[in-house]
Structure 1
């Protein structure tokens, strides 16, 4: 395998299992030494062992991201164990899904602290190291379709993931002069969350059985495995993507997408400005005809993937 990341050092937060572990293993396969991060020591140690068994180098930091102290610990560990830091992947996250009237302050704050604040503190610490040491670093933040489109019951998660994309665009401007790039990856893959959704059951059952997922999922929906996402993370971490900055890239199954940045869909002008009356009379119909969609709507499952009727 090509070792295009040989000599590089990466931190991947939330990398004990799932998507984060897939990213860490792929970075290691490409030659990077990796700092694994998880809140569960046993899980983190198992991830390190998996990478070492594959011929890679890894160490673990067992701590919940969010605070500046943990961000400093992650960067300090990378430098102490491997001599430098080149790549940061901010993947750590938690879920506290509830509709708004049921969502508590703690539900909201916990998700924001891990996803949004954790991305901020880790990126700030990593960039401080990059700038001080003349490293043209790579920061890869993990977004979500929920942050792009919204999703019922995920006020906290949607806010965090949309906020991450906003930070990525800002940091891409602030860090460009130093040579550091910042991009967001929006994965669509089988995870603990999608495992509970009946719509994805045929795909997950196939994957569990060691079989390819049906083409409907991989092609039509762009839904696949964690390993399907990992290649994009390694690509963005490499020199091949040195000129890619401030982008939001979706990937899953056989599909990859570049998300547009928000732009005005329709523009109208009126001499003297817009009053309630003129908005009602002149702009109301234009607005209704051009309302943007919200949430994600999945097509019906093909007949061959429909669940068998209960007897």
Structure 2
């Protein structure tokens, strides 16, 4: 840096630092953060869709370890029951709800279950989803519609259904106390949505759409102290990156094979080429990103898309 530019920068920094005043002197409320390990979410009520297995289950268990009360939802009711029972067996609080996030009645049922069990909703995580890949010239209307329905429309509808509990409750708190309890929404996107991916035009479009939804919710609900962020995951070791066909899902009566050709070997090869850390992420590591954004330490983070990739795409 040239000397005159250094001096200008020094003057600017001096001016800025000299003008900083304590929040109290500016008439602002202090938002200090204090939380001990294991209590980051103490007493908070969290809905996590698709939390009967994989990343969602890892998140439900991690949130419970930090004191959250969980609504575990999954298309596979038995798996949702198992995760919720495991949380309760360790002294936590959790209920389970079987359901398809794309079903017309699901959002209202999910919100009702949370309120009846715990009285409120503090954290809403739209995590449920799957892939149904195909090259652009081969994707069927059914494939296209299915991806938009589960990854874009379903999160919107659940957020909308939760509005009376989250947004309206915040409005009431603001009217009565002058400030609202912090609440947050996390939408799961993908690097396919932020960077695109061959063979996933439908999935990439839906995951890009949820980023736009995230930014809009952050803008509309920020004044109610409701934060909204997205997480774009790269290669995480779940059934979606396992060997193709090792697990399936039924969509409108049609069996869809999940995973990628080559599975773990393919993921490892991709990691070697694309990921500076030279490995895929674990569900527990992926869940950690959710905990970060849901925690008090992220109280001023909103409208962002956090890429959790091990350094890929930088």
Aligned pair partner of 1:225 in 258, 277, 282: 282
1:11-63 CA-to-partner distances (Å, cap 9, x unmatched) read 00011101111111111111001101111121111111222233321111111
Superposition map of 1:42-57 within 5 A: 42-57=78-93
Deviates more, 1:218-227 or 1:186-195: 218-227
Aligned pair partner of 1:201 in 265, 277, 282: 265
Which position in structure 1 is the counterpart of 2:122?
86
RMSD of aligned C-alpha atoms? 2.5
Residue 2 (structure 1) shift? 2.2
Residue 162 (structure 1) shift? 0.2
C-alpha contact 1:44 1:62 (8 A) present in aligned 2: yes
Residue 202 (structure 1) shift? 8.6
Superposition map of 1:91-102 within 5 A: 91-102=127-138
Which position in structure 2 is the counterpart of 1:192?
239
1:86-127 CA-to-partner distances (Å, cap 9, x unmatched) read 000100112211112222111111111111111101112223
Unmatched 5+ residue regions in structure 2?
1-36, 171-180, 244-259
Q: TM-score, normalised by structure 1?
A: 0.74
Superposition map of 1:131-146 within 5 A: 131-134=167-170, 135-146=181-192
Q: How many residues align?
A: 249
Name the CA shift for 1:30/1:14 in 2 (closer, same or farther; >3 Å).
same
Find out whether 1:108 has 2:154 as its counterpart: no
SS state at 2:105 partner: helix
Unmatched 5+ residue regions in structure 1?
205-213, 258-295, 298-311
Find out whether 1:13 has 2:49 as its counterpart: yes
Which position in structure 1 is the counterpart of 2:300?
243
Q: TM-score, normalised by structure 2?
A: 0.73
Which position in structure 2 is the counterpart of 1:176?
222
Aligned pair partner of 1:152 in 192, 198, 211: 198
